[in-house]
Amino acid sequence: MNRLLSNVVGSFVEAWQELRIHKTRVMLSLIGVAVAVCAITTVVGLGAVAQQALQEQNEQQGGRAATLSLYVAKYDGTPVDAEVMEELWTTTLDRYGIDYASRVVNSSQTVQFADGAVPVRVTAVDQPYGTMHRVRLTEGDWFGATDADRLAPAVLVNQVFYDRLGQPDLATHPTTTLLGDRPTTAVITGVYPVSTWDTEPAMYLLADTLAGLSSPEQQAANGVVPNYEMWVPAGLSEELTKAIQRDFTAAIGSGTNVSVSRQDYAAFNEDPFGSIKLLVAGVAGLVLLLGALGLVNIALVTLKQRIREIGVRRSFGATAGRVFFSVMMESIVATLVAGVVGVIGAVLIVTNPMLQGFISQGAVTDFPPFPVEAAILGLVCATVVGALAGLLPALVAVRVKVIDAIRY
């Protein structure tokens, strides 16, 4: 143990001295390694950030894995009896023990703003929807269990809507007027962010609130058909898809289109950055290789001088294994230093606010910290390249014949 430690530390000292002597040449060949490591780490790091952005967006749209979507419509266009649907929906959730489920109605609702009545996109949902879609709010809270019983219904508005109201303090319980058959005053209890390209006001209501504003028949007449979403374990999604499809078809009868399908992003699993990643990784790999060749070159060029040096070291007690390890260490220490520089560069690039804004388009509410895997990957790449580049010189070094090396 003691011997191992002093061997490792000793090799490190020897490697460092050797690098110091050839520092200019070493540094030049390391630029390539540092750049390559930086590129690889940046790509992986950005990939992770972009992935997070994409996932957040996808989850907000399609729900978390696995979200099943149920859609029921009659072929002749007449609405399915609302009470029958309601009944079936509740028993299905009970039967399969699905806790997270929500009706989703996409509709439009006229809202009275100071400068006039404006149609606003509305998504009417049940309370679990917030968890299922990981909806993030910049202010206030998602619908609570008691919101359904409020006298004045709760409404969550997007940033555009909120800005148009002049950003009132939510603690003052600001209200907005929903026009329609039965004009209603709603209390704004939360605000959610929008992408930079989104300029239209929009809001979330509870499905029951929307039903109170206009009857399902009216909605059906307007062409609004509710969608039903269920968040289920991914492993069960296929079975449940079939079972629910069968149950509904059997219960509602012929002439009806019952469709159950998975709609979350994970169902269409593909890496949108795959090809870019591959390209950058390829180029970076090439640069890394060139840097490594530079290191091998230096090691071989200085070998003549070093044969004598190795002979001297051996005569003072360095074992063959120690010589191998020391020479190997030179190259590893060098590339590791370059790797650290590269990773630091990558962190600076990836965590740059301008770049993050560009990638996320404002859609990501909280950025993940720089992914540790990316940094580790960069350092591992550097070390592996160093080890590969050190192998040849190290093999040459152990084959040095001591008595020939110190003969003059």
Q: Which residues bind another protein (CB under 8 A)?
A: 2-3, 6, 9-10, 13-14, 17, 20-21, 305, 308-309, 311-322, 402-403, 406-408
Question: In whole angstroms, what is the distance from residue 396 CA to residue 303 CA?
Answer: 9
Name residue 69's beta-bridge partners.
229, 261
DSSP code of residue 255 = T
In whole angstroms, the minimum distance from the beta carbon of 309 to another protein comes to 6
In whole angstroms, the minimum distance from the beta carbon of 293 to another protein comes to 24
- Comparison of 75 and 408: residue with beta carbon closer to another protein: 408
Question: In whole angstroms, what is the distance from residue 200 CA to residue 118 CA?
Answer: 10
Closest CA to 181 of 211, 156, 201, 155: 211
Q: What are phi and psi of 207, to 5 degrees?
A: -55, -35
Closest CA to 241 of 215, 267, 203, 205: 267
- Comparison of 20 and 94: residue with beta carbon closer to another protein: 20
- Comparison of 12 and 273: residue with beta carbon closer to another protein: 12
In whole angstroms, the minimum distance from the beta carbon of 3 to another protein comes to 5
Q: Which residues of 184-222 are buried (b: 16+ CB within 10 A; e: fewer)?
A: bebbbbbbbbbeeeeeebbbbbbbebbbebbebeebbee
DSSP code of residue 172 = G
- Cα separation of the two ends of the chain: 38
In whole angstroms, the minimum distance from the beta carbon of 310 to another protein comes to 10
Q: CA Rg, the chain, in Å?
A: 32
In whole angstroms, the minimum distance from the beta carbon of 16 to another protein comes to 11
- Comparison of 316 and 358: residue with beta carbon closer to another protein: 316
- Comparison of 20 and 83: residue with beta carbon closer to another protein: 20
- Comparison of 272 and 321: residue with beta carbon closer to another protein: 321
In whole angstroms, the minimum distance from the beta carbon of 12 to another protein comes to 10
